[in-house]
Amino acid sequence: MQVDSPDKIRNLAVAGHNDTGKTTLVSALLYAGGVTTRLHRVEDGNTLTDFDHEEVERKISIGLAACYVPWQGHKINLLDCPGYGIFFSETQAGLRAADAVLLCVNGVAGVEVNTEKIWECAASMDLPVVVCLTKMDRERADFERALESVHKRFGRAAIPVQIPIGQEAGFTGVVDLVNQKAYQFTRDGNGKAAPADIPAALAGEVETHRSRLIEAVAETDDKLMEGFFENGTISQEDLVAGLRRAVASRQIFPVTLASGSHGIGPSALLDAVLALVPSPAERTPFPAKNVGGEDITLPGDPAGPLAALVFKTLSDPFTGKISMMRVVSGTLDGDSTHWNSRAEEAERLGHLMILQGKQGTNVQRVVAGDIAGVAKLKVTNTGDTLCAKDHPVKLGWIKVAEPAMAFAVEPKSKGDEEKIGDALHRLMDEDIALRAGRDPESHEHLLSGNGQLHIEIAVAKLKHRYHVDVLLHPPKVPYRETILRPADGHGRHKKQTGGRGQFADCKIKIEPLPRGEDFAFADEIFGGAIPQNYRPAVEKGIQEARRRGYLAGYPMVDFKVRLLDGQYHDVDSSEMAFKIAGSLAYKDAMQNAKPTILEPVMKVEIETTEEFTGDIMGDLSHRRGRPQGMDAANGSQIIKALVPMSEMLDYDRILRAMTQGRSSFHMEFDHYDEVPRPVQEKLIAEYQKHRQEEQE
């Protein structure tokens, strides 16, 4: 479906906590719009937007997916966002490309943790929000209770524009409060219903909720408020126009209802989207900067300069890379060349596609406000802007959170060693929250993500897509060694083998440096005790020795070496001899410098509910954690603590089990601190055992 005017487009990110029925609702909307010939279900593994093998197997959404519904001469683009917190960057990307959010709230459970995160994200992007109470046909689903949950978390500006006909298994339709029409749906029908008269039994309830809606709309505009005070109401025309303005300006957040699994509510919801959600032409101009970094305005004008944001990359071993983009300004033509403002290179585009999940239909052009896909771009990545070379811009993008944890990945087969790097790179193209690379110290392949499940899914993709089977190991903790007091060291290397001998002698003093200073070397020799050309060799010998550590094989850091004195021989001295002497002086000084082992300490923030705070605090104390305080935010508790990295390697799994998956955490490096003596003794014993095994 090719659209030539932004006025005929709506862009809606369908988001919410996991298990709120988002993908099922999207499937019901597609069925109602005639895109599919039957209602596809997550349980059957045939939905258009959960097409990845892991999504089908696990029956959860993992990646952002795009589709569209043709409805009353309009094109409604739907961006199906994952609900699990570990995939929140995908949801952020979906919101960035959208003009409004359809926030799904479980009609049984009410507002949940990730619902609040999405609400905050939408607010930060100034996006209108339409709330949809889903699963209204389920046992214990309750409209008033769910609405009260929304009011408690998001305020009274969330106003119903629909109320249910029936409840739980008796939920059969909705009443449109704006147009005062009822929509009765056939259970397991095609999601369409014709408007009808409101049931007499609901007349009182309709009057109550409609009066609240009228008053709420009147309060958003001084002129409407005057008319409301004079007449006790406002006209139907003013109600419709005022409500649309209030939604666009985030003064009102309309509440709708649906049951995606039984096709109750889709056509009424699509009508509401067209009536309430602003088109790309009506939205606040998309955030953008020029090459000088100055903020600029880019209205959604098809005749304007081209600017398109790549917000998602699909990677497939057979079809290759597909870049999904939102055209913000101008018109994008197929078989054209445009400028990548990040890479500062021209990018040749082939055929343009409009997407239904992973399936694409070729179109000739895509106008401002629309969403499209392009295959096999060479230099363009997720987050990049394609624009006109003579009008370079960078469109606003999201800030992706740093990964919470990492695992070492080792190929099961030696033949897969070369394939693993390329496969990991392709996964990172698709999932912007993944990080992969080699650890410069351990030389391990590290795969980092937002949780253990996130990394396990990435490993499953490696196996299924790229036929690379890997083993997961906790990464090696980057311990360090340091000294606690100054000490003198003397290194003397003397060797006579009949011919030319080897001789070098040096005296040093080592002293502690503040944390994070790493290493310093000072040449304090006065005169020619050691010739100038040999002194760098002393430092080199110490540098090599400190990287091997002293106690347990970890790099020695945060100390200074002062080269004080030495001796040399005109014939037998050499750079190699002074290098050896330097390492011997280092080892001699270490015997009296009170060496110790340092461990990385992480700053940890855990978001949970009050019922789990006691268990979490107790568990942190067992992990040698030091509490740093607790804050309340949007009904949740944020626990802050400093915890050694070595104690956090299995935390994702433990936290999920402890809180039934209702808590999340983030951690980042804070500082290095001394390891307790019992733990040091264990590390030293393990190192000595390993050295002994190597020698045998």
The answer on 634 and 561 residing in a single domain is no
Residue from 664, 659, 666 nearest 607 by CA = 664
Q: What is the CATH number of the domain that holds 607?
A: 3.30.70.240
The answer on 252 and 173 residing in a single domain is yes
Q: What is the pLDDT of residue 695?
A: 79
Residue 193 and residue 448: Cα distance in Å, rounded? 48
Q: What is the pLDDT of residue 634?
A: 56
Residue from 320, 318, 323, 353 nearest 335 by CA = 353
Q: What is the pLDDT of residue 661?
A: 76
Q: Tell me, yes or no, whether 579 lies in a domain.
A: yes
**At residue 523, does pLDDT exceed 60?**
yes
The answer on 99 and 248 residing in a single domain is yes
Residue 631: C-alpha distances to residues 254, 347, 557, 637, 640 (Å)? 30, 47, 36, 6, 8
- Give the three-state DSSP class for 680: helix
- Mean per-residue pLDDT, 117-142: 96
Q: Tell me, yes or no, whether 263 lies in a domain.
A: yes
Contact (CB, 8 A) for 297 and 445:
no
The answer on 216 and 106 residing in a single domain is yes
Domain count along the chain: 5
- Give the three-state DSSP class for 81: coil
Q: Of the candidates 276, 305, 331, which is a domain's last residue?
A: 276
The answer on 349 and 215 residing in a single domain is no
- Mean per-residue pLDDT, 409-418: 81
Q: What is the pLDDT of residue 133?
A: 98
Residue 446 and residue 267: Cα distance in Å, rounded? 48
Q: Tell me, yes or no, whether 695 lies in a domain.
A: no
* Three-point CA angle 142, 148, 153, nearest 5°: 130
- Mean per-residue pLDDT, 507-514: 96
- Mean per-residue pLDDT, 151-168: 96
Q: What is the pLDDT of residue 679?
A: 94
Residue 371 and residue 11: Cα distance in Å, rounded? 8
Residue 283 and residue 97: Cα distance in Å, rounded? 12
Q: Which two tokens stand for residue 542?
A: 């110490």
Q: What is the pLDDT of residue 21?
A: 95
**At residue 272, does pLDDT exceed 70?**
yes
Q: What is the CATH number of the domain that holds 192?
A: 3.40.50.300
Q: Tell me, yes or no, whether 281 lies in a domain.
A: no
Residue 448, beta-bridge partner list: 406, 435
- Mean per-residue pLDDT, 596-606: 92
Give the β-pairing of 100-106 and 65-71.
unpaired
**At residue 636, does pLDDT exceed 80?**
no
Percent of the chain with pLDDT over 70: 99
Residue from 21, 71, 86, 70 nearest 47 by CA = 21
Residue 179 and residue 660: Cα distance in Å, rounded? 43
Q: What is the CATH number of the domain that holds 434?
A: 3.30.70.870
The answer on 375 and 361 residing in a single domain is yes
Reported pTM: 0.80
Contact (CB, 8 A) for 395 and 339:
no
Residue 579 and residue 584: Cα distance in Å, rounded? 9
Q: Of the candidates 377, 395, 413, which is a domain's last residue?
A: 395
**At residue 293, does pLDDT exceed 90?**
no
Question: pLDDT tens across 62-72, in order?
Answer: 999 999 999 99
State the DSSP H helix or E strand holding residue 579, giving kind and residue range, or none if neither: helix 575-590
Q: What is the pLDDT of residue 442?
A: 67
Q: Tell me, yes or no, whether 459 lies in a domain.
A: yes
Question: pLDDT tens across 348-401, in order?
Answer: 999 999 999 999 999 999 999 999 999 999 999 999 999 999 999 999 999 887
The answer on 418 and 383 residing in a single domain is no
Could you give phi then psi for residue 622, rounded to 5 degrees?
A: -65, -25
Question: pLDDT tens across 187-218, in order?
Answer: 999 999 999 999 999 999 999 999 999 999 99
The answer on 430 and 330 residing in a single domain is no
Question: pLDDT tens across 10-40, in order?
Answer: 999 999 999 999 999 999 999 999 999 999 9
Q: Tell me, yes or no, whether 1 lies in a domain.
A: no
The answer on 290 and 205 residing in a single domain is no
Residue from 31, 74, 91 nearest 273 by CA = 74
Highest mean pLDDT among 463-467, 539-543, 605-609: 539-543
Q: What is the pLDDT of residue 527?
A: 84
Residue 74 and residue 29: Cα distance in Å, rounded? 14
Could you give phi then psi for residue 223, rounded to 5 degrees?
A: -65, -40
> Which is more confident, 636 or 295?
295
Q: What is the CATH number of the domain that holds 583?
A: 3.30.230.10
User: In whole numbers, what is the pLDDT of the chain averaged over residues?
Assistant: 92
Residue 130, beta-bridge partner list: 102
DSSP state of 286: E
> Which is more confident, 653 or 613?
613
Percent of the chain with pLDDT over 90: 76
Q: Tell me, yes or no, whether 121 lies in a domain.
A: yes
The answer on 388 and 246 residing in a single domain is no
Q: What is the pLDDT of residue 114?
A: 85
Domain range for 433 is 405-473
DSSP string, 411-457: ESSGGGHHHHHHHHHHHHHH-TT-EEEE-TTT--EEEEESSHHHHHH
The answer on 409 and 375 residing in a single domain is no
- Give the three-state DSSP class for 123: helix
Residue 296 and residue 544: Cα distance in Å, rounded? 52
Q: What is the pLDDT of residue 42?
A: 94
Residue 656 and residue 644: Cα distance in Å, rounded? 20
Residue 636: C-alpha distances to residues 163, 609, 628 (Å)? 29, 5, 17
Q: What is the CATH number of the domain that holds 344?
A: 2.40.30.10
Residue 366 and residue 302: Cα distance in Å, rounded? 9
Residue 433, beta-bridge partner list: none
Contact (CB, 8 A) for 479 and 599:
yes
Task: Assign 449 a pLDDT band (cuts: 50, 70, 90).
Answer: confident
- Give the three-state DSSP class for 486: coil
Q: Of the candidates 593, 619, 650, which is a domain's last residue?
A: 593
Q: What is the pLDDT of residue 583?
A: 97
DSSP state of 264: B
The answer on 255 and 243 residing in a single domain is yes
Backbone torsion region of residue 152, taken as left when φ is above 0, otherwise alpha when ψ lies between -120 and 50, otherwise beta: alpha
Residue 375 and residue 320: Cα distance in Å, rounded? 7
Q: Tell me, yes or no, whether 694 lies in a domain.
A: no
Task: Assign 633 a pLDDT band (cuts: 50, 70, 90).
Answer: low
Q: What is the pLDDT of residue 452?
A: 78
